[in-house]
Amino acid sequence: MSSFKSKYQDELIANAAYIGTPGKGILAADESTGTIGKRLASINVENVESNRRALRELLFTTPGAFECLSGVILFEETLYQKTASGKPFVELLKEGGVLPGIKVDKGTVELAGTNGETTTQGLDGLGQRCQKYYEAGARFAKWRAVLKIGPNEPSELAIHENAYGLARYAVICQETGLVPIVEPEILVDGPHDINKCAEVTERVLAACYKALNDHHVLLEGTLLKPNMVTPGSESPKVTSEVIAKYTVTALQRTVPAAVPAIVFLSGGQSEEEATLNLNAMNKFQGKKPWSLSFSFGRALQQSTLKAWSGKDENIKKAQDAFIVRCKANSHATLGTYKGDATLAEGASESLHVKDYKY
Amino acid sequence: MSSFQSKYQDELIANAKYIGTPGKGILAADESTGTIGKRLASINVENVETNRRILRELLFTAPGCLDCLSGVILFEETLYQKTAAGEPFVEVLKKGGVLPGIKVDKGTVELAGTNGETTTQGLDDLAQRCKKYYESGARFAKWRAVLKIGPNEPSPLAIHENANGLARYAAICQENGLVPIVEPEILSDGPHDIKKCAEVTERVLAACYKALSDHHVLLEGTLLKPNMVTPGSESTRVGAEVIAEHTVRALQRTVPPAVPAIVFLSGGQSEEEATVNLNAMNVLEGKKPWSLTFSYGRALQQSTLKAWGGKDENIPKAQAALLLRCKANSQATLGSYKGDANVDGASESLHVKDYKY
């Protein structure tokens, strides 16, 4: 095979396939301390460890949520946290049939000589860190590469650097038993139309799969976390069916069938948009040899956060909001979402933040 | 889309898809004058235009064969030839629901500084030639790139040059209405095992699809003609199921679902091997978002040639031999071949070391 033989080969393949189980998807709860601070600030909650812990416990103990989830991505701090009664989050997830995942990148830095384009850090000592995370119970990892669309962007350099960084990260993960989620996010910011987004997405994904091949990555033991193909944030909106067609076409042109599942990021989409678009993709008629599911952060947690507002007496209300989004997205992976999720306050609210930094 | 918008877009997509119709495949009858000369010599037939014409007429008018075919690849001379009764071959094919294809490459030349590795010529004025072929009725084209396995082969240079040449050829074809068959043949010559072949095949195909993306080729309007993944010619043989497993896995790892059909080359395989291996691939469980069919030359014509022996009185016998292989391969595309076409000579290896077309 052109992939190297990891001693974890069978496990990687099984775990990646499991993540793509129809009816399930990923909760991205890996906001770094700085980023979760912004979320907490928006509901007037202090950014201290106990509050971060309380929020994640709220999510992970929501009755019925685990049936809709195959994985949860965690930030390092959370990997070692416990429920109030002392049970490690990792145990809670495992008992609920949910694979714990871990964010392993160390954020972006600018590429000199470009117009604000970036590459992602985190390769130094990554092998040892992954080993540690595996021992702590993690079974998949996530690394976010970021590209933007502009008159001269993304440049060849940005595409190449980010694709090869993703590939290097992916093979290190596989050497240490973690399924790598490959995330080449193309930001939605800009006045470009959906055709432009499609063209860039196809170019970027082609580069990613070439890099993964060069690095001998076992595709059956990976996941892809791409942006959906949409018009730019400053461009007129289109329907879910159009988004579904452009997105699936882009994936058909670039993502080998060996990849078991594609878990979309939600970017700046509202909770409802993200669900409707995912649903449209699963209804779309055409070749789709990979599961199409979700790896949503904001688009799963927004109304939950608002309902909670940091108050214990609101926990049940917040958990009710959370299960509504979980179930809606679970249906969307089956193409059976009817748009009937009780729209909690803010579910249709756009979550777009220009030039979003995690 | 990242592909350029050819005015032939819809036609390219429809024709590529048609070639992959279940139950059908391609007859590769595009042997150059030199190569067909070797075939004719093997049955003591003189290599003159009339004989080349007679042979192809024998093939194209064989009763029942066109039903098993979606396309026939022709050499330029044949594109302009007619039946004895005066009907252009192109018309015979079209009436039979078979798309005419045309070989457009101009053979291989060595890459300086390598150990006998090659690149393929034919890009000069390719657009004008394609336009002419389209006007003459061709609807798809073929270009053969060749790579070999060795201690240091295929080299990054050989992979890059061949992949890039294929992509450039493909884009030019699409600009001119021809569906390009992308053929990156990795020769089976050598003592290497099947895992080595798999590794090289995956590396080569990944490079091809990166190049096709770079050149804005519309994948839905292309076909792939790869080698199957097998042990080297000097290595121990394996069963058809093993070949199928390694081949399909290599394709799953590299060929985007947008490609409508994969039409295997037969290389040095015997007629029967080529059929049985194709059948095994269509029986194999697993993700296969493209049709898996044939584009066979020797593996469709070998027993036909022998049966003909250059004699008119043998034509019906020869045509019956062709029909037998056509039907067998048609069944193989459906995974329903039962091995009942394995008659005299069908299992004879057609491997020629360092084969040059």
What number is the ipTM of this complex? 0.90
If interface means Cβ-Cβ distance under 8 Å, which residues of chain A face chain B? Answer: 1-3, 195, 198-200, 202-203, 206-207, 209-210, 213-214, 219-220, 249, 251-258, 287-289
Task: Give the closest-approach CA distance of A165 to chain B in angstroms.
Answer: 17
Q: Which tens digits make up the pLDDT trace of B17-56? A: 999 999 999 999 999 999 999 999 999 999 999 999 999 9
Q: Which of A2, A198, A289 sits opposite B1 (nearest CB)?
A: A198
Q: What is the pLDDT of residue B353?
A: 73
Cβ distance of B2 and A199 shorter than 8 Å: yes
Q: What is the pLDDT of residues B3-27, one digit of tens each?
A: 667 899 999 999 999 999 999 999 9
A203: which chain B residues are within 8 Å (Cβ-Cβ)?
Answer: 2, 213
Q: How far apart are CA A118 and CA B92, in angstroms?
A: 59
Q: What phi, psi does B85 have (nearest 5°)?
A: -80, 0
Distance, CA of B59 to CA of B57 (rounded, Å): 5
Q: Out of A1, A258, A289, whose CB is closest to B195?
A: A1
Q: Which chain B residues have a beta carbon less than 8 Å from that of A9?
A: none
pLDDT reported for residue A1: 44
Band (B110; pLDDT cuts 50, 70, 90) = very high
- B196 contact partners, CB below 8 Å, separation of at least 6: B149, B232
pTM summary value: 0.93
Name every residue in B having a CB less than 8 A away from some CB of A: 1-3, 195, 198-200, 202-203, 206-207, 209-210, 213-214, 219-220, 249, 251-258, 287-289
Tell whether the model's pLDDT for residue A248 goes beyond 60. yes
CA distances from B245 to A21, B148, B241, B254, B281 (A): 24, 22, 6, 15, 7
Flag if B258 and A2 touch (Cβ within 8 Å).
no
Q: Is the peptide bond before A88 cis (omega within 30 degrees of 0)?
A: no
Q: Cβ distance A326 to A64 under 8 Å?
A: yes
Closest CB to B206 among A213, A220, A255: A213
Q: How confident is the model at residue A358 (pLDDT cuts 50, 70, 90)?
A: very low
| pLDDT exceeds 90 at position A345 | no
Query: Nearest-CA residue of chain A relative to B212?
Result: A206
Residues B257, A219: C-beta atoms closer than 8 Å: no
Q: Give the residue carrying structure tokens 């040095």.
A: B268
pLDDT at B357: 46
pLDDT (average), residues B185-209: 98
Residue A304, classed as helix, strand or coil, is: helix
Active site residues of A: 183, 225
CB pairs under 8 A between A and B: 89
CA distance A256 to A262: 11
Which region, left, alpha or beta, applies to residue B246 given φ > 0 means left and ψ of -120 to 50 means alpha? alpha
Q: Nearest 10 degrees: CA dihedral of A146, A149, A153, A158?
A: 10
d(C-alpha B178, C-alpha B129), whole Å: 11
Tell me, what's the pLDDT at B5? 77
State the amino acid at position B355 in one-letter form.
Y
Q: State the pLDDT at residue A344.
A: 58
Q: Which two tokens stand for residue A20?
A: 């793509």
Q: How confident is the model at residue B340 (pLDDT cuts 50, 70, 90)?
A: confident
Average pLDDT for B232-256 = 98
Q: Is B183 a catalytic residue?
A: yes
Kind and range of the H or E element at A4? none
User: Tens of pLDDT along B113-172?
Assistant: 999 999 999 999 999 999 999 999 999 999 999 999 999 999 999 999 999 999 999 999
- A253, A259, A290: which to substitute to probe chain B, counting the most B Cβ within 10 Å? A253
Nearest-CA neighbor of A24 among A317, A338, A282? Answer: A282
Up-side HSE of residue B2: CA atoms within 13 Å toward CB?
28
* pLDDT the model gives residue A353: 75
Question: Are the beta carbons of B209 and A207 separated by less than 8 Å?
Answer: no
CB-CB contact of A211 with A204 (8 Å): no
SS3 state at B64: coil
pLDDT at A343: 59
